[in-house]
Amino acid sequence: MGFLSNSITVDVYTNQQYAYDQCKPQLAKKYIPEWWKSLPASRPTHQEFYDDLPISSMKQCPAINDILKAGIIFPSWCELHMRVGIGGEKEVAKAWKEIQKDIKQIDKEFYEIIKER
């Protein structure tokens, strides 16, 4: 994939169909919130000599628009914070231990697979 490529490749691996079915990667543009859609692109200026000059809102920010239009979301029933370092080290937020307790009650087989992570 070249630097200017328009395609995104995400490889997702799991041995649990249930996990995949629950959190399939989706394009972020399917999840743009209504408040963002209704946000005005600009607002009027309230400064001396500039009353007619509109000021851009964050809706005009190219970086935010790129994330919303080209990003990928893994829909989940809870919030998860994960980080993979440059050397491959992995870190999952401490909330994961609490989430595991809920999963254990819902699906004991799946819990046995994830309990050491």
Share of the chain above pLDDT 70, in %: 72
Residue 33 inside a domain? The answer is yes
18 assigned to some structural domain: no
Distance CA 28, CA 70 (A): 6
Tell me: the pLDDT tens digits for 32-50? 888 888 888 888 777 777 7
Residue 52 in any domain: the answer is: yes
4 inside domain: no
Q: What is the mean pLDDT of the chain?
A: 76
Residue 84 domain boundaries: 78-117
- Measure Cα distances from 82 to 89, 91, 110 in Å: 11, 6, 19
How many domains are contained in the chain? 2
Write the pLDDT tens digit of every residue in 55-67: 888 888 998 888 8
Say whether both 71 and 86 belong to one domain: no
Question: Do residue 71 and residue 102 come from a single domain?
Answer: no
Quick one: pLDDT at residue 1? Answer: 45
What is residue 117's predicted lDDT score, i.e. its pLDDT? Answer: 59
98 exposed, middle or buried (CB, 10 Å; 0-12, 13-18, 19+)? exposed
